[in-house]
Amino acid sequence: MAPDLLAWYDRHARDLPWRVQPGGAPADPYRVWLSEVMLQQTTVAAVKAYFLRFTAIWPTVQDLAAAPDAQVMAEWAGLGYYARARNLLACARAVTAMGGFPDSRDGLQALPGIGAYTSAAIAAIAFDRAETVVDGNVERVVARLFAVQTPLPRAKLELVALADTLTPAARPGDYAQAMMDLGATICTPRSPACVICPLQAQCDARAQGIAAELPRKTPKAAKPLRQGTVWLGRQGEALLLEHRPPQGLLGGVLAFPSAGWDGRDLPPPGPADWRDLGTVRHVFTHFTLDLTVRIGTLAGNPTRGELVPLRQIDPAALPGLMRKVWDMARPHLTA
């Protein structure tokens, strides 16, 4: 199977900023690692601009290791899953301290924030190790190739074991990326383009006429709804902001003071003529949030956070939830 897939990849590989050309020299492990961390639970389309900006500001892992935490968190804003940004800094500093990235899967997996999938991807793509790389796209391809009926997520271990039987010793990095590209462009979740698939002759699901039905999935439970409050405290031409706790949801990012939705039962950040503007809704991985937006003029010193001049606030540096709050409040801030 591998020769057919690699021949297809040589002609049709996606042009992505973190990749080298098929059959070329191994990729830079820094760029592979950075892209893989950014791509966790995030689309390629969303990651491209962030990757280009990060590598322009911090061209090497040593540059990133030396960056101020606040600057990295601000550049990450909007990409979500902020624990990844904290782990990114911890990993960059660990790699810099040891003089470079380890070239084995075990060595890579010992680094902060690098799990089984990411370590396999870096080892294969950057160091040409014959490691099996299985993301969501590869799971789908393998489920169809072998007509696996077991639903996800229960089928994950079975799919990894089957994928491992296919990994070649030659060009494992190109092969890993070819499998990802096949899933992203041909073997898609809906209406797979089986007639132009380079592996159609080897696909059991196509032979059985069930390719579009696989992989099966266990129905997801409905997400619980949480509620909370966010306060926009104004004093003159300044607005109250705070850095969230380093751990937990939106950890370490700059945000408007809030409470009630993240395990923190806190009062308003100071006396003010608080009034409700409405509610913003934001969907996290495990729950949906309805956040009541309150605005007011602070009567004295705030009890937490710091007052930042409005002209210095960059909405793009705020996490997605807080940008929704900003968008709702903005007409009232210019009044």
DSSP conformation class of 207: H
Q: How many CB atoms lie within 10 A of CB 170?
A: 11
Strand partners of residue 288: 225, 283
158 included as an active-site residue: no
Written as one string, the DSSP assignment of 23-83 is TSSPPPHHHHHHHHHHHTTS-HHHHHHHHHHHHHH--SHHHHHTS-HHHHHHHHTTS--TH
d(CA 68, CA 133): 32
Strands (E), 200-321: 225-235, 238-243, 254-255, 258-259, 275-283, 288-297, 306-309
Contact 95, 61 (CB under 8 A): yes
Task: From the candidates 36, 75, 131, 139, give the one annotated as an active-site residue.
Answer: 36
Give the residue numbers annotated as catalytic, written as ranges. Answer: 36
